[in-house]
């Protein structure tokens, strides 16, 4: 199982003071040295954390691969075509949200998603769709020709009730199997931390996890290398592989 380290919230701290540190680029390079299999960054339309220059700087300096998260807009399509990341993950955005609240509604905008998927694919960029663990949405992902999906694990991560969490987990597991049987590569992420990642990491149909907020938060106390190492150990243990 691969670990994508999302460095958005390094930029959140930097932007809080309008300073030049902490540097998302430095975080990306450090993350790679300490076990990140890829770097994920979300260039939000409002640029609240990652800025355009960060994306170019990281893309040009890393030796793994960049997974660029972006909204389904013409501006973001142009950005992605200019940056040429290995992967683009198309996510929904709402202006007032604190974080990405749900998955992309592929079902209601299949033509548009298919058009973006085609353009990005033609440019050599692999497309992933950030969706909820929902049967119809996954079927729609197949219909638009997406080679990869990322299942939104936020509802699972946020459940405080044990039964609800089990239900969310079961939905994720079912969706992962459904997509994987269709030949779609399945990733997952959002709200994962060392306390809740194990049941998700045990789902063998899931290929990659993208984790950001919890890693950057933990890095404040134990450092980024140690936070990544701790996460990788937890994930590998869940898969019964030593790390
Ligand atoms: C799409 C997604 O899940 C990530 O981008 C992540 O949530 C970090 O960005 P925000 O915290 O700005 O949503
Ligand atoms: N796509 C999910 C992601 O990149 C990281 O989400 P989070 O761990 O910051 O909630």
Determine the residue of 68, 158, 192 to mutate for testing ligand 2's pocket, defined as the one with the most ligand atoms within 8 A of the Cβ atom.
192
What pLDDT, on a 0 to 100 scale, did the predictor assign at position 94? Answer: 87
Question: Is residue 191 in contact with ligand 2, taking CB distance under 6 Å?
Answer: yes
What is the residue extent of each domain of the chain?
A: 2-218
Query: Percent of the chain beyond pLDDT 70?
Result: 100
pLDDT at 68 over 90: yes
Closest CA to 203 of 169, 164, 153, 161: 169
pTM for this entry: 0.97
What's the gap in Å between 100 CA and the centre of ligand 1?
Answer: 5
pLDDT band at 188 (very low <50, low <70, confident <90, very high): very high
Catalytic residues: 42, 69, 190
In tens, the pLDDT along 58-67 reads 999 999 999 9
State mean pLDDT over 10-26.
Answer: 98
Ligand 1: residue of 4, 5, 6, 104 to mutate (most ligand atoms within 8 A of CB) is: 6
Whole-angstrom Cα distance, residue 242 to residue 232?
Answer: 10
Domain 2-218 belongs in CATH node 3.20.20.70? yes
Write the CB contacts of 192 (distance below 8 Å, at least 6 apart in sequence). Answer: 153, 157, 200, 209, 211, 214
pLDDT band at 95 (very low <50, low <70, confident <90, very high): confident
pLDDT band at 243 (very low <50, low <70, confident <90, very high): confident
Mean pLDDT value of segment 139-148: 98
Give residue 236's pLDDT: 96
pLDDT band for 242, please (50, 70, 90 cuts): confident
């Amino acid at each position: 199982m691969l670990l994508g380290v999302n460095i958005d919230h390094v930029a959140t701290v930097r932007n809080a003071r309008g300073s030049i540190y902490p540097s998302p680029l430095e975080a990306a390079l450090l993350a790679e040295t300490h076990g990140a299999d890829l770097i994920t960054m979300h260039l939000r339309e409002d640029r609240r954390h990652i800025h355009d220059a960060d994306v170019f700087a990281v893309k040009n300096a890393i030796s793994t691969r960049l997974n660029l998260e972006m909204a389904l807009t013409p501006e973001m399509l142009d950005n992605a075509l200019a940056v040429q990341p290995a992967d683009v993950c198309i996510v929904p955005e709402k202006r007032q949200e604190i974080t990405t609240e749900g998955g992309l509604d592929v079902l209601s905008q299949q033509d548009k998603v298919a058009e973006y998927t085609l353009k990005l694919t033609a440019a050599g960029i692999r497309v992933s769709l950030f969706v909820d663990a929902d049967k119809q949405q996954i079927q729609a992902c197949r219909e638009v020709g997406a080679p990869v999906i990322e299942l939104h694990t936020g509802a699972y991560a946020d459940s405080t009730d044990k039964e609800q969490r089990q239900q969310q987990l079961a939905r994720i597991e079912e969706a992962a199997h459904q997509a994987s049987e269709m030949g779609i590569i399945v990733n997952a992420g959002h709200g994962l931390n060392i306390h809740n990642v194990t049941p998700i990491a045990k789902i063998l149909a899931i290929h990659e996890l993208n984790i950001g907020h919890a890693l950057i938060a933990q890095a404040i106390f134990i450092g980024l290398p140690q936070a990544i190492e701790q996460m990788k150990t937890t994930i590998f243990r869940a898969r019964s592989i030593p790390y």
